[in-house]
């Protein structure tokens, strides 16, 4: 496994790969890797000649400095996992290399995709994500790039970014990896206290209830039922939204869209968890 920490050395190496017309799969991460990330690497290995994985905690996508400080980091373990997964290249750039003009995001507009949910509750988050992902795309020039559906809004925004910037990159969405209990895998799970860890599968259980409730209740009534259900858990619900999968606009009746997904963000103490489920 090759490890690069400078853009130049990575690009020199990748030039040979591109000259040989080999396909490059790209898995961008912020480290603290888990089985979910590894399924992305495995898929990339299957689909491409070479897999490049970046590990970079991107400061501009954190609206809360404390969240950035507390974001779990374990590069030794990450490298071990990537090596075991047969990842070909790991890119570990510095903040200075990725942000030579200072830690600022560019301004993006994604036709409203960025206004709901994470965009609303984490102002500037998607400008930060789009800035770093477009910089990575410019450096790595992948054939395919892999994004988990756990960050479904991020996935939709990256699909839009690719259109806007006319990148010739195929975005591959990957299903949410879950623990047996149903808890969606997340780097943040390492920060859950035992009480929250034990209760965390409740989030997936409640998401699944929406599938049943949709047969008997309106969208609004369902949302109220979700809010009531959360009051029985130790979590503090930040939002529950039921949206059209493409526009991410909240729907008001079940027949409004053929593709509906429910989205939840909730606090487990000071750990913020998100999850989502396809409802229709």
Cβ atoms of 113 and 156 closer than 8 Å: yes
Instruction: Among 47, 49, 67, 151, indicate the residue that binds ligand PAF (CB under 6 A).
Output: 151
| Sequence-distant (≥ 6) Cβ neighbours of residue 204 within 8 angstroms | 178, 181, 182, 183, 184, 275, 277
Q: Determine the 3-state secondary structure of 174 from DSSP.
A: strand
Site string for ligand PAF, 99-138 (x = CB under 6 A): ------------------------------x--xx-----
What is the total count of residues that contact ligand PAF (CB under 6 A)? Answer: 10
Instruction: Among 14, 30, 203, 206, indicate the residue that binds ligand PAF (CB under 6 A).
Output: 30
Site string for ligand PAF, 39-58 (x = CB under 6 A): -------------------x
Q: Does 28 bind ligand PAF (CB under 6 A)?
A: yes
Q: Is 168 a catalytic residue?
A: no
Question: Which residues in 58-77 contact ligand PAF (CB under 6 A)?
Answer: 58, 61
**Nearest-angstrom CA–CA distance, 40 and 34:** 10
186: number of Cβ within 10 Å: 24
- DSSP at 273: E
Residues that bind ligand PAF (CB under 6 A): 28-30, 58, 61, 129, 132-133, 151, 154
Catalytic residues: 37
């Amino acid at each position: 496994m090759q490890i690069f920490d400078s853009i130049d050395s990575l690009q020199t190496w990748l030039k040979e790969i591109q000259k040989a017309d080999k396909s490059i799969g790209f898995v961008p991460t912020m480290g603290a890797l888990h089985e979910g990330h590894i399924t992305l690497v495995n898929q990339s290995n299957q689909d491409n000649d070479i897999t490049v994985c970046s590990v970079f905690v991107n400061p501009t996508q954190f609206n809360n400095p404390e969240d950035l400080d507390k974001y779990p980091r374990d590069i030794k373990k990450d490298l071990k996992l990537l090596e075991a997964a047969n990842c070909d290249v790991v890119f570990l750039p510095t903040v200075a290399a990725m942000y030579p003009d200072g830690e600022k995001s560019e301004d993006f507009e994604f036709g409203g995709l960025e206004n709901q949910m994470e965009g609303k509750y984490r102002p500037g988050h998607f400008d930060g994500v789009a800035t770093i992902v477009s910089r990575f795309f410019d450096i790595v020039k992948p054939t395919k790039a892999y994004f988990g559906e756990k960050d479904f809004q991020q996935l939709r925004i990256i699909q839009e970014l690719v259109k806007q910037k006319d990148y010739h990159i195929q975005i591959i969405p990957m299903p949410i990896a879950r623990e047996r209990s149903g808890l969606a895998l997340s780097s943040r799970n390492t920060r859950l206290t035992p009480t929250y860890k034990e209760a965390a599968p409740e989030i997936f259980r409640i998401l699944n209830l929406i599938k049943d409730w949709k047969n008997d209740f309106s969208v609004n009534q369902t949302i109220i039922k979700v809010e009531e259900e959360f009051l029985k858990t130790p979590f503090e619900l930040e939002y529950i939204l039921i949206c059209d999968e493409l526009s991410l606009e909240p729907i008001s009746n079940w027949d409004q869209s053929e593709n509906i997904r429910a989205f939840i963000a909730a606090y487990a103490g000071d750990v913020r968890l998100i999850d989502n489920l396809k409802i229709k």
